Amino acid sequence: MIRRPKPGESEEDLLRLQEEFLAREVASSANVVKKGDKRKNVAGTAQQNRVEKDVVQLPGADPSSGLPMGATSDPPKKKSKFRSSRPAAGDYGVRGQRIEIDLDRDEDPEVAMERHDTHITSVLSKIMEHDTSNAAVHLPRGTTQGFPTALHRGHTTGAQNGKPHKKRSLFAQQFESSTSNQFGVSTEPQSEQPIRAPVSSSIQPHSTHPMRVSDLPMASSSVEENMEMGESIAAESSPQEPHVISGAGLLQGSLDPERARKDIQQIHQENLGRLSAMSEEEILQEQQKLRQMLDPNLLKFLQSKGPSKPTQKPTSSSTPTSKPQADSENDSMDTESSAPMATEPIPEEKMTQETSKQRVHFDDNAGGGVDDGKEEQELGEPPIEVKKEWVNMNKVESDKISWLKDMPKPSAKAKEGYQARFDFNGMLVARDADIPVREGLHHHGEEQEVPGYSLEELFTLSRSSVVQQRVLALQTLARVLYNCRISDIGGELMEPLVPKLLEAGVLFLFRWSLDDVNEGVITACIEGLAALLIQPGDESTSDRVFSWYRGSETTPMRPVVEDEEDESGQKIEDKEKSDPQLASQDVIKALLRMSVLERLRYILEVVRPPAPVVLNALAILIRIARHSQEATHEIMKCPRLMQTVFAEFLPLASWKSQGDVVSEAYNYPLIPALKLARVICQNGRHFAATLLTKYNLMSVVVRYASMEPVDMPMNIGEAFQLSTEAFRVWQVCVSYGLACDTYRDLYPLLMQQLQVFQRLSILPLDSTHDASAKAANRLQMTRACTVLSMLEGVIHVAGSAVILQQKQTMRSDEQSQQHPRAPPPPIDWSHVSGLMSPLELCAKRWLGEMTNCSDVLEAEALSLVGSSLNFLASVYENWTRQPSYSPVDCLQHIEELVTRLLVPFMTSTSFYSVVCNLKSHSSVSHDGNSSLPIISALPDFSCHPEDQSLVYPCVKQTSSYGFAAGLLRLVTTLLKIHKGMAAKFCPIIESTYVTEYLKAVCKHPHQSSASQLVGSWARYEHHVLYYLVKLYYHVAQQSESCHQYSILYHSTALVLLTSLQSGQEHYVHDLLSTVLFHTDFLAEGRIGDPIASDLADMLTMNGKEETAPSTNSSHQGPTRGELLQDAYDHLGSIRHLYMVYFGAAAQALTRSRARSLHQPHDIDTLSLPEFTGPLVPMDWIFLPLLHLYVEAQKAEMLGKTVKSFPPHILASITDTLRWVFMLETWRPKCLQMVPQAAKVARLYCIFLTGNDLFMEDAVSGFLWPILRIYTQPEYLKALDFNVPVPGVASFHDLYMSILTQYEAVSFGNRLFAHFILLPIQQQFNPSLRKAVWFDRVGVLRSLGLPLRECAIPLTNFLEPKETNPELVEIYLGCVASGSVRPSWSPVMYLVAVSHLSKFLFSRDNLDQVEAVRLKLKMIRQVLALKDKVLQQQILQYQGLDLTQPLGFNLYPQLPLERLEILQAAEQR
C-alpha cells in the first residue's frame, strides 16, 4: 500500500514517493485527456487536439451524468422505453472502473463522446411525426350571424359533458355550457337527432351523464314505466359511452387505443342489454344487494357520477318534449323559472325584470347538471336589494353574497347539555345570546351561528402562527381559569372545568408558550399561570389572620399523594415519573421540573416586562414557596433569582413616585416582593438566616418600617401595606430569635409608635368621615396590630434568655461540644420591661371601649384588641420565669386587671355578642367541603376574594375567633398564676351563650376532610375551644357549682381531641394529661352515679316479663355500678396507658410544644406538617387493642406462639375496656361518630389475640356489659355490616378469621358466640350467613347458645324471611344431615326451621317458573326425610314462641293451603 504524504515532509520526500509509485506501475485513479478547441482547425493536427482541453473522469462516475455516483439517495425510478433502448452498462465497462474511448487518428474527442453517449439529444432526434395524410378533415360550419351573440350569465345552463372538473370561474362555466346554436352555427338536421325519452323516466339512456345507483327505479315506479325504459334502452342503436365504468385504465395501458375503445363499448352494450332484460323486481333486488354490499362512501361516489335531474318538466304528461338533447341537458345552473332557451339576444329591460324573479346558483362540484331547487329555497331572499343603477350587477350571485345574510338561529339546547363557549372575558356565553357579529365571537370553525369560543378552539388558536391570535387565545384561557377559580363563570357546568383543563394539558401549553420571544405571549402566559396556580382569596385571608394567635404559622399547600409501587413492590420516585404523570399528582413539582424558575428569572432580569407581568410573576413565586420547604429550597438555589428580586423590586435608595396604578415596577418597592421574602422565612430558620446574611433583608425591613407611611413617595394605601408587610417579615424573623439587634436600635421609634397607638380608637368612625378616611383608619389599625404581634415575639425572645442561660450552665463541657446549643439572644427582660405599661394602657382603653360599645366593630378593630391581649398574656407567661419576678406585684397587677377590666367585659353584652358570633361562625355549620372548585393536584384554601359566604366560617371577615382566642388565653394565663381569681369567672362558665355554643359543637362534631386543605382553617376554632376547656379546668378546681356542666365540657374536650390536626400534638398531650381523665370532668363518679346505675338495673329487671329472655343469667359477675366504680377508680392507670401510647411520636410533640409555648430557640420552622386530616382517629379509644393485635400478628409471623400474656399487657387490655365501658355509659353521644360496626370489629381483636384472652375474668367482666350495651335496640339499629367498615379492608375476611378462631379455641364460649351471631342477623349481607352455614359448618356444632340467654332479639334472625334460594337449600341440607340439631345449636336450628317453612309455603315469586320448581323440589325432599319429627316441624311450623322448648310452636294440623301445596308437589 502506498503511503500518503504527511505534514512536514520536504519536496525531496515527495519526489521519492513519486518514484516509488512509478516503480510499482500501478494504474492511476484519474487520466488527463486533452480536448481540442472547436475554434481552431483540427484537421491534420491530432496531437495538438489531445492537449488543448483537460477532461477528468473519476472511477465509478456515470459518464452520461454530471453528478458523482451516490450523490443522491432517491429510490430508483422506473426506466422509460428510451432508457431501456440505451446500451447496457456492460457495453462501457464495469461500474467503478475507468472508461476509455478509442479515438481515431484525426477524430475530435467531443465528436467521439457524442457518438458513444446516449444523451437527450439522441432522444429528441428520434421523434417522428405521425402520418396524417389519411385523417379526416372537418371544415368549420357556417354561421348565420355576422358576429357571435353576446350571452348573459343566468340564461343558458348546462355543460357539454358530465365529466367532473375542478372549480372553474363563472366565465369558464358559461362558455362551456354554451351551445353552437347560440352562436348562429347550425347543427345536424332535426330528424337526425335522437328522440329523447320522456323526462318522467327513471333511466335516461341518452344522457351523457353516468348513471347513479340512486337513479335506479324505486319501488314507487310502475311496471309500465320500467318496460318503456327497457324498450328505449334496447332500441338504442347508436353507441353510447359508459359513465360509471369509463375504461380509463384500459386506455392508458393499451397499445391499441381503438381496440380498447371497442371493448369498452361492447362491455357497455352488454350491460345495457342485461339491464333492459330485467324486470322491475329484479332491478330492485339487485339495487338492494348493491346498497348492502358496497361501502357508503363508494355509493356516494357512484351517485356523483350519474346525471343531474333536469328541472324543466314537460308541459303535458302526454306529449313528450322534442327539444334537442344538447339544449336541455347541457345546463349547469339552477333556476326557479324554467324559461325556454333563446338563440336571440334578450332585451335588457326584459332581462332586468326577470332577474328580480330569478336567482341563480352555480354548481361548482357537479360540473354541470341542474339542481332541484332545494338549495335555492334555503337561501331565501337576497340580503340586499339589487338596483338598476348598479353597474354589472344585473345578476344576483347568491353564493357570493350569502355571507351578508344573518346567522341562522342556533339549535335548541340538548337535554344532556351542549359545548361550553366563552367570550373574551372568560364568561360563558348562552347559545341564544344576542351578540353582534362585530364582537368577534362568531369567527370559529364549528357552529358559527353560536357566539363564543370553545376550549378546543382556544387550544387550537393558541398554536396559531399569528401572534395576535396566540395572545388572544392565551388571555381568554387565563380569564376562564380565573373566573372558574372564583366560581363566577356566568353559568353552570356539568363537571369542574379546571381539572379538565389540566387533564387536557393547559399547564404544558402555558409552559411552552412561556418560552416565546414575543412579549405579548409572555404576558398572556404569566397571566394564565397565575390564574391557574393561585386562588385569588387565599392570600388576603392569610394576611388577615396573620396577627391572630399563632397566625404566622402556615400550612403547606402541597397535595397528599399516596406512594406508588412498581411490580417489584418498590416505591416509584418522582424522577421516574413522566411529566404528565407528575402534573396529574402535583402541579408545582411538574413546573419545577420544567425549569419554570429559571424562565421567570430570565423574564424578570432580561425581558423586564411591564408592572402587571412582574406582579403576576411574583405571585407565582409566592405560590411556589407556599408549596413546601423543598420548593422554597429550589427558589433559593435558582441562580440570580432572589438577587434580581431584591435589587429590582426592593430598592434601598429613594424611588420615583407613581400614581395609584404602578406603571413601572423596576426600582420601585413592590409589596409582593417583600411578601415573597416573608413566605420564604416562614418555611424555615435557615432560609430566614440566609436572607438576613446574604441579601441583607433587615436593611430592607428597616428602610420601610422606620418611615411613616404618609412620608413615603407612593399611594397612601400601598404605603401602609408596605410598612405592614415589613413588620410581618420582622415578626417572622423574631419568631426564630433572629433580628433582635434591630429592636434595640429602633427602640425609641417603637416607643413612639406605642404612644401613637394609645390615642387610637377602635370605635367605628361616624358618618361625617368619608370612605377614604375610613379606609385609612382600617389600614392604620392593621399596621398597629402587626407592630404589637412583632413586639410579642420580642417578649418571647427576651423571656427565653434566662432559660437558655440556665441550660447552658447546667451542661457539661462534653455535652456542649457534642450538642452545641444556640447562644443566648442579644436581648433580655430588661430590654422589654418598658413595653408592658404603654401596652397595658392600650388594652384597657380598647377593651373598655368594647364594653360600652353597642355597635358592631370592624374586623381590624377586633384583631387589634386581640393582639394587645395576646401581648399581655405573653408578658405574664414570661414574667414569672424571670429573676426579677415579684409575686406580690404580679398578683396585684392580676387582681386589678381581672377586677377592673376582664370581669366587667366578660359579663357585658359585648362579650355575649362575641360568643354568639363564635356560634354563627363555627365549623359545625360547615360540611367540610369547599364550595369553590377543588383541584387534587393543586390544593388551596378555597377563599373567595369578595364573597365571604364562600370562605371557611371561622376565618370570615366578620369572625371574632381571633379576638376570642386572645381573651381566653389571657384569662387562662392569669388563672394559672393567680388561682384565687378563678371563682370570679364561674358566671362565664355557666353562661347560656357559652353553653349553647359548646352544645352546638358537641351535637355536630366536625371531622376535617383529609383531601381538602380548607379544613386547616379549623385550627383557629381549636384554639378557642382549647382555652375554654382549660378555663373550666381552672374554675372547676375552685368552684363546686360549675360541676353541673362537667358533662358538657368533657364532651367538648372529647370532640376537640378528635378534631385536632397535625402540628397540634401539644394540645393532644395536654388534654390527655390534664382534662380527659380528670375527676372534675367525670363528676358522675363522685355523685353516686354507679350506685344509681345498679338501682336502675334492678328496677328494669323487676319490670320485665317472665317470658323475656334473660341476658344476665349467662354471666354472673359484677354489676354495672360496680364496674363503673372500678373504672372510675382506675382513671390514673387509664390515663397512663393512653399517655404512653400517644407519646410515641416524641419528635413531633417536641416541635409542636415549641410552637405552642413560644420557645424561639427550639422553633425550626413556622410551616406546619402536611395537612392529612385529624391527628387522632375517631376510634382512638380502641387503639391499644389494635396495637396489641398487630404486635401479636407480628410475633406469629416470626414463628412465635402467643400462649399467655404478662400482667401489664392484661392490665392494658382491661384498662381499655374500662374506658370504653365508661364512655359508652356516661358519654354515649361522644362515641356516636364511630360506626357501630367499627366498634364490633375493634373488639374482635381481643378474640383474635391469643387463645384464651377473652376468657380472663377481668377481660370478660367488661366485655359482657359492653355486649349488653351494643345489643340494645338503638345500637342494633345503628349496626350495619353492609357498608364498608372504616379501618377494615374486608370485613368478610375478618369475619372468616373470627369463625376460624371460634371453631379452634372457643369451646362453645357463650360470650364469643354472641359476637359470632351479630353479623349474621337477617338484615345483613347473605354472604356472612353463608360463611357460617357453608364455609365453616363446624361452627354450628359448637354454637350452643341457649335461646333464653341470647342477648340479641331472636326476631332479628327470623325477620325478614329469607329470599335467597341457595341459602335456603343450605339450611335444608344442614338440618337434614344433622349438622344442626336443637340440642347442639338451638338458635341456629330455630333459624333453619323457620326460614325453610316460610320459604316453602310462601306465595312470593309464583309467577317465576324456576322459583316454583325449586320450591316443589325442596318440598319433595322434605317429604322424603327419614326424620319424621324434623319433617313435621318444617311442615307445621307456626311461629316464634320462647315458652316452648325449641323456641317455636306448631300447627295442630296442617293448614289447608299447605296441604294443597303438598298434594301438588306429590302429583308432580
Residue 483, SS3?
helix
Query: At a CB cut-off of 8 Å and minimum separation 6, what does 807 contact?
Result: 821
**Measuring CA to CA, which residue among 220, 214, 215, 262 is closest to residue 241?**
262
**Measuring CA to CA, which residue among 235, 228, 142, 158 is closest to residue 194?**
235
Residue type, 1272: Q
**Measuring CA to CA, which residue among 197, 370, 162 is closest to residue 276?**
197
- d(Cα 577, Cα 1048) in Å, to the nearest integer? 52
Is the bond into 1360 cis (omega within 30 degrees of 0)?
yes
- d(Cα 1165, Cα 685) in Å, to the nearest integer? 6
Residue type, 1201: T
Residue type, 783: R
The pLDDT value recorded for residue 602 is 97
The pLDDT value recorded for residue 1264 is 95
**Regions of the chain where pLDDT drops below 70:** 1-2, 28-167, 180, 182-255, 305-383, 411-417, 811-822, 925-931, 1005-1011, 1087-1116, 1202-1203, 1406-1407, 1468
Q: What is residue 495's DSSP assignment?
A: S
- Is residue 882 classed exposed, middle or buried when 0-12, 13-18 and 19+ CB atoms within 10 A define those classes? middle
Which residue's C-alpha cell is 369558464? 172
- Residue 218 to residues 202, 288, 290, 418, 531: CA-CA distances in angstroms? 9, 10, 14, 39, 62
What phi and psi, each to the nearest 5 degrees, are found at residue 1343?
-85, 65
Whether the full predicted model's pTM is greater than 0.85, yes or no, is no
The pLDDT value recorded for residue 130 is 56
Terminal CA-to-CA distance of the chain, rounded, Å?
109
Chain centroid to CA 1166: 30
Instruction: Bin 1124: left if φ > 0, else alpha if -120 < ψ < 50, else beta.
Output: alpha
- d(Cα 1180, Cα 1174) in Å, to the nearest integer? 11
**Measuring CA to CA, which residue among 1093, 1137, 1120 is closest to residue 1266?**
1120
The pLDDT value recorded for residue 356 is 38
Residue 1115, SS3?
coil
- Is residue 247 classed exposed, middle or buried when 0-12, 13-18 and 19+ CB atoms within 10 A define those classes? middle
Q: Which H or E run contains 175?
A: helix 170-177
The string of pLDDT tens digits covering residues 298-311 is 777 777 766 544 44
Query: At a CB cut-off of 8 Å and minimum separation 6, what does 1048 contact?
Result: 995, 998, 999, 1002
Beta partners for 143?
Answer: 185
Neighbours of 256 (CB within 10 A): 9
- d(Cα 1468, Cα 1466) in Å, to the nearest integer? 5
Listed in sequence order, the DSSP H helices in 387-518 are 398-401, 455-461, 467-485, 497-504, 506-514
- Residue 219 to residues 202, 787, 878: CA-CA distances in angstroms? 11, 95, 105
